[in-house]
Amino acid sequence: MSSCGETYTMAPATGTLSGEFVRPGTRIYALFQFVGDDIQRLALRISLADIDEQFEKVIHKSLVFILRYLAKFEDHRKKLLGDVTRRLKCRPAIQIPVHELFVAYNDPECSTYLTNFSHMYIRMGYPRMPLLEQIRLLPVFLLHLTLPVIGHVTVDNCSRREMELHELPVQRRFISEFYSLVLLLPYRFERLIRFDSNDATIPDGFNAYDYSRVAHDRFSMIHSAEDLEKFKVAVVNFFSRGFFPADESILPLLFANADTRHSVVSASDRQLHILDRLVDWEDEALLTHIFDWFLGRRREFDPKVSLPPRWNAFQPKTLSELNHSKPYSSAY
């Protein structure tokens, strides 16, 4: 047998390896033997991986290859990955190749099968990563998976160096927008799968797409009002630690300061007072950005709601802050 470090190529299925090499009681090799030589060798290595370290080494090097290969074999997929998935679920300390899966997930030419399974293993693997590696992936990752992490991101030099957010303005914008949606999400929310039907009730200030980003039943990490409150406090702490410029941190903290729960409001109070003195309230770009959120993000093609439109709690708070701005005060 060749080493685990060899490079695999997609070879046609030309035969099977002898079953006598497989330990009694192992099923995974027998399931893989009809697919192809490369997969057979991987299946044999997985079956013979008696200890977690061996299993982790094979999975780390080969999981994405297996997923790409099995995209061609629809009849075998469920059986072939079943044993691998069950073993990973039973061994929470085993590391999964999250970065490689994320690259595959973002490949515009990947199949729906590869996208779905990459997402599943990313969700399984990201919480297992060391905290520093989770922090390193924050600027580019599936943001809903980062909610349990951001409350633990400290202001030490290591975290700043690993994220390098000061050099990533586009990523900062996406991160800020997503976390702002979390802060604006009402505590009485409904997890949905379809957000474009007339039965879907979209909260004030949201559009269907924004709502799906934070409340999708398959992907969202927010399962309850208690989860939401905890994540909101974590988001506030994240924006209070200087990873973002003052003019980019002020808006999420305004959202938090208008929240209905004391823990979120009190977490934002001190930093909001500090940023209030640092922000240039005459900056046209900042005012435009605030007004974009102030007016809400509903779109004409979003589902109609039966409830009349209401001002959310953020809007009166924003009005009081905008009184600092001479352009706004003179106009209104």
Burial class (CB in 10 A: 0-12, 13-18, 19+), 179: buried
Q: State the pLDDT at residue 233.
A: 96
Please state the rounded mean pLDDT for residues 40-50: 76
At 118, which amino acid appears?
A: S
- How far is Cα 90 from Cα 314, in angstroms, rounded to an integer? 44
Residue pLDDT, tens place only, 154-211: 777 566 666 677 777 878 888 899 999 999 999 999 898 877 777 778 887 788 888 8
* 3-state SS, residue 285: helix
Tokens read off for 13: 């299925």
253 pLDDT band, cuts 50/70/90, is very high
328 pLDDT band, cuts 50/70/90, is low
Which of 31-35, 56-60, 300-304 shows the highest mean pLDDT? 56-60
Q: State the pLDDT at residue 11.
A: 36
Asked if 207 and 293 touch (Cβ cutoff 8 Å), the reply is no
Residue pLDDT, tens place only, 75-113: 555 566 777 888 899 989 999 999 888 878 777 677 888
Q: State the pLDDT at residue 12.
A: 36
